[in-house]
Amino acid sequence: MHVTVSFVGVLANFVGAEKATIELPEGARYEDLLAEIGRLFARNMPEQLWNSEQETFNTRILATRDERSLTHINDSNLVDGDEIKLFLMAAGG
Amino acid sequence: MNGYHGRFLDVDLGAQATKDLPLPEEYLRKYIGGATLAAALVYDRLPKGRLDPLGPENPLVFATGPFTGSPIPMVGRYAVCGVSPLTGFWGEATSGGKFPVRLKASGFDGIIISGRSEKPVYLYLKDGRVEMRDASRLLGKDSYETQKLIKDELGGGNIAVACIADAGERQVRYAGVMNDEGRAAGRCGMGALMGSKNLKAVAVAGNLSPKAADPGKVKEHAKRAVSEINGNMVSVALREYGTLMYMDMGMILGDVPAKYFTKSVFPAGKLSGQAFRQKFTIKSYACQGCPIGCGRDLTNPKQDLHVDGPEYETAAAFGPLCLNTDLDSIVAANHLCNVHGLDTISAGVSIAYAFYLYDLGVLTKDRVGMELKWGDGQAIVKLLKMIVNQEGFGKILAKGTLAMAREFGREEGEAAQVKGLEMPMHDGRAFHGLAISYATGPRGACHLKGSYYDIDLGNMVMEYMILPGDRLSSDGKGESAAKFQSLKDLFDALVMCKFAPLSPTMICEILNALTGWAYTPDELLLAGDRSMNIKRAVSLKLGLTREKDCLPKICLQPLDEGATANVVPDMDKMLRDYYRYRGWVWETGRPSKEKLVELGLNQVAKDMYPQG
């Protein structure tokens, strides 16, 4: 299945991409998506952002299907065609 | 005493006299410092009956806190407080730089200034002594010139200056106090209050540092705090892009107000931190002792430009709020505000309101002196100059949105302000916890005391069980927003940057190592509640009622597009919840007598409930 990931705002600058379409096996979960993100972008990301050993973000990142509710997706299965937005949890000024 | 000098400088400008104001340790333990301590001092000095905020009896306070000048990172800050000339209620503003650290090193924890000098003066504090010096030749000088001239006059060296510029001298209601070149204690018009006293500046220098109770522990905590800050991704993003990093992300969330709060959709990418980086050469600027450096120092050799760069709030106020995407005009507007000493938020919102009224046909070319079309960056710059010079239409713009609504016969709910202070650049429709924080903020609409977006974006304060929830729900938000507001209010007592990612537990450990006290996180929250209530008590003395704890209508209208379309916060529900937590009486807006006593505000209880 294919999942599209958007790195929103300033996060895109640190990941080195605004968007990526990622192929995952059926039944994949958020942690599988994270492993793929690491494989594709770990080399771009500063250590404060990405933990290469644990294959996860080192900081709170909000992953949501819906920027309206901002419900975090990390406990649910991903489905084909999912569009996931990732936000660095920071608000300026 | 540890962590403090235990004294303020008490200045009577009318009598041209100064004296020491000793501050007992118990008093400091109760009010901690910064804006909270200032509120306690102002409360005691407020005259009975009406107060003209620009009159000599309105005290002006410069205050540091126990953290100021210590090796702890992100604490190079101070507060400037008094009754706000813009709102008529409690007013406070904070700023960072070298000035706060040198104020503390001058041998005083702060200054309280009353009266009005006949001639313009500035104060020079050094190593526990003070001089009142003639400032006649500084009149009309801008903030950068003023700081330089004073430093030159005093022989340079480690002198820092906080001053007003011409906007403050002319008592523009939202004139700020400027320090360290372009750093601003912008909000609430403290520059106008300073101008009303004929006080042009405060210069500070010295080498007097209070002892810490446990210097070894303080050093350890400082090391740990620096490591936490440097290991934090938000710090990295702030260092790289400044607060502007939020612009495009905030717009996706519907949190960046556009077109005078009537829209939330705007091509924000044109004004992002990245967009500024592409157009200008940017260096970061750090307040003393800050490992982040979110301030911007901006150059463009092609334009022979070297200025302090805009913060997110400024870029949003002169950008989306006015539908303006022209970076040059935003940079120029920011620079004008710094040079002349204006709050960029109140100035931007007032100008956006003018665009809005012009669009409605309420204002005309004849009345304004020019055409106003949404997005016209040059018009923004022209209007700013008119505000500073109090020229033509600028005279009414200089009084803020509430005065504008009254002047033009509009309903007050159209003025984007709370208690007279203009709305910052986060939209309460995008985070309902923010909406209630705005409505109840001690100085009016304040995003810094109630940055609840931090919580609903996924951060939490475990000590107080302040946990993320549905940002577009009003359920349970009143209480948790109140607790968060109390915590953030304490940051301005300590005085510490709001970006410092330190937990209440760590804050207590640092405070205890500095002072020798034994603060616990629970006591810290109680101190935050006390802080909110002493500021409330000041405003209640000045006529505040519960009816003012609201958002203006313009900021509660449902939007027709974007992430927050058709959702508005349930203000009544949250306000009732908030009042329950605070122990405030619904009918009067006052803290109950029991709550005041619980917080140790016994004198306030006696004043507020004289019948017992």
ipTM: 0.94
pLDDT for B457: 86
pLDDT above 80: residue A75:
no
B536 within 8 A of B557, measured Cβ to Cβ: no
* CB within 8 Å: B246 and A91: yes
* CB within 8 Å: B471 and A62: no
Q: What whole-number distance in Å separates Cα of residue A70 and Cα of residue A85?
A: 9
* CB within 8 Å: A8 and B248: yes
Does residue B445 sit in helix, strand or coil? coil
Q: What whole-number distance in Å separates Cα of residue B56 and Cα of residue B58?
A: 6
- How close is the nearest chain A Cα to the Cα of B609, in Å? 39
Q: What whole-number distance in Å separates Cα of residue B28 and Cα of residue B92?
A: 19
Which has the closest alpha carbon to A41: A5, A82, A90, A76? Answer: A5
Q: What whole-number distance in Å separates Cα of residue B122 and Cα of residue B141?
A: 13
Contact residues on chain B for A69, CB-CB shorter than 8 A: 470-472
Q: How far is CA B145 from CA B98, B138, B161, B163, in A?
A: 17, 8, 11, 10
Contact residues on chain B for A13, CB-CB shorter than 8 A: 240-241, 274
pLDDT tens-digit series, residues B521-537: 999 999 999 999 999 99
Q: What whole-number distance in Å separates Cα of residue B431 and Cα of residue B253?
A: 9
Task: Kindly tell me the number of DSSP H helices and DSSP E strands found in chain A.
Answer: 2, 6
B102 within 8 A of B111, measured Cβ to Cβ: no
Strand B199-205 versus strand B121-126 pairing type: parallel
pLDDT tens-digit series, residues B227-258: 999 999 999 999 999 999 999 889 999 999 99
pLDDT for B408: 98
Mean pLDDT value across residues B392-398: 98
Q: What whole-number distance in Å separates Cα of residue A88 and Cα of residue B467?
A: 17
pLDDT-derived band at B318, boundaries 50, 70, 90 = very high
Does residue B610 sit in helix, strand or coil? coil
> Nearest Cβ partner of B246 from A14, A70, A92?
A92
Q: What whole-number distance in Å separates Cα of residue B154 and Cα of residue B267?
A: 48
Percent of chain B scored above 90 by pLDDT? 95
Does residue B529 sit in helix, strand or coil? helix
Question: Structure tokens of B114?
Answer: 């009353």
Given CB atoms, is B500 within the 8 Å cutoff of chain A?
A: no
Neighbouring residues of B566: CB distance < 8 A, sequence distance ≥ 6: B558, B559, B560
Place of tokens 């011409």: B166
Torsion sign across C-alpha atoms B507, B508, B509, B515: positive
pLDDT tens-digit series, residues B491-502: 999 999 999 989
Strand B110-114 versus strand B7-12 pairing type: parallel
> Nearest Cβ partner of A91 from B231, B240, B451?
B451
Percent of chain A scored above 90 by pLDDT? 70
Neighbouring residues of A54: CB distance < 8 A, sequence distance ≥ 6: none
Chain centroid offset of residue B464 CA: 25
pLDDT for B379: 98
pLDDT-derived band at B505, boundaries 50, 70, 90 = very high
Q: At what angle do helices B521-541 and B504-515 cross, to 10 degrees?
A: 90
Rounded mean pLDDT of chain A? 91
Of these ranges, B141-145, B282-286, B466-470, the one predicted with the greatest mean pLDDT is B141-145
Which has the closest alpha carbon to B141: B61, B201, B187, B79? Answer: B201
pLDDT above 80: residue B333:
yes
CA angle B40, B44, B47 (to 5 degrees): 135
Instruction: Provide the β-strand partners of residue B306.
Output: B299
pLDDT above 70: residue B546:
yes
Single-letter amino acid code for the residue at B83: V
**Interface probe, candidates B232, B243, B249, B311, chain A, greatest A C-beta count within 10 A:** B249
Task: Give pTM, 2 decimals.
Answer: 0.97
pLDDT for B303: 83
Q: How far is CA B371 from CA B332, B359, B379, B390, in A?
A: 20, 10, 8, 19
Q: What whole-number distance in Å separates Cα of residue B393 and Cα of residue B285?
A: 35
Question: Structure tokens of B524?
Answer: 């810290």
Q: Which residue of A has its CA nearest to B253?
A: A67
Chain centroid offset of residue B357 CA: 27
Q: For B24-28, B280-284, B423-427, which range has the lowest pLDDT when averaged over its residues?
A: B280-284
pLDDT for A62: 87
Rounded mean pLDDT of chain B? 96
B515 within 8 A of B582, measured Cβ to Cβ: no
Q: What whole-number distance in Å separates Cα of residue B352 and Cα of residue B338?
A: 19
A60 within 8 A of A91, measured Cβ to Cβ: no
Strand B417-418 versus strand A61-64 pairing type: unpaired
Q: How far is CA A56 from CA A70, A88, B482, in A?
A: 19, 13, 33
Mean pLDDT value across residues A45-61: 92
* CB within 8 Å: A71 and B470: yes
Question: Structure tokens of B530?
Answer: 């006390």
* CB within 8 Å: B454 and A91: yes
> Is the pLDDT higher at A71 or at B167?
B167
Contact residues on chain B for A11, CB-CB shorter than 8 A: 249
Burial code of B501-540, b = ≥16 C-beta within 10 A, e = fewer?
ebebebbbbbbbbbbebebebeebbbbbbbbbbbbbbbbb
pLDDT for A92: 66
* CB within 8 Å: A89 and B459: yes
Q: What whole-number distance in Å separates Cα of residue B254 and Cα of residue B430?
A: 6
Neighbouring residues of B385: CB distance < 8 A, sequence distance ≥ 6: B336, B391, B394
> Nearest Cβ partner of A92 from B243, B253, B471?
B243
**Interface probe, candidates A7, A62, A68, A69, chain B, greatest B C-beta count within 10 A:** A68
> Nearest Cβ partner of B233 from A48, A69, A92?
A48
* CB within 8 Å: A13 and B240: yes
pLDDT above 80: residue B145:
yes
Mean pLDDT value across residues B16-33: 98
The DSSP 8-state label assigned to residue B48 in this structure reads: S
* CB within 8 Å: B426 and A91: yes
Torsion sign across C-alpha atoms B575, B579, B584, B586: positive
pLDDT-derived band at A89, boundaries 50, 70, 90 = confident
Single-letter amino acid code for the residue at B502: L
* CB within 8 Å: A68 and B563: yes
Q: What whole-number distance in Å separates Cα of residue B542 and Cα of residue B438?
A: 19
Mean pLDDT value across residues B395-422: 98
pLDDT for A93: 66
Which has the closest alpha carbon to B202: B147, B157, B158, B148? Answer: B147
Q: Which residue of B has its CA nearest to A9?
A: B249
B121 within 8 A of B135, measured Cβ to Cβ: yes
- Count the Cβ atoms, other than its own, within 10 Å of residue B354: 26
Q: What whole-number distance in Å separates Cα of residue B280 and Cα of residue A87?
A: 26
Given CB atoms, is B465 within the 8 Å cutoff of chain A?
A: no
* CB within 8 Å: B458 and A60: yes
pLDDT for A70: 81
pLDDT for A91: 74
Neighbouring residues of A66: CB distance < 8 A, sequence distance ≥ 6: none
Instruction: Provide the β-strand partners of residue B283.
Output: B297
Which has the closest alpha carbon to B181: B216, B148, B211? Answer: B148
Which has the closest alpha carbon to B164: B93, B90, B109, B75? Answer: B93
pLDDT-derived band at A90, boundaries 50, 70, 90 = confident
pLDDT for B134: 98
pLDDT above 80: residue B90:
yes
Given CB atoms, is A8 within the 8 Å cutoff of chain B?
A: yes
Neighbouring residues of B607: CB distance < 8 A, sequence distance ≥ 6: B537, B541
**Interface probe, candidates B226, B233, B345, chain A, greatest A C-beta count within 10 A:** B233
pLDDT above 70: residue A88:
yes
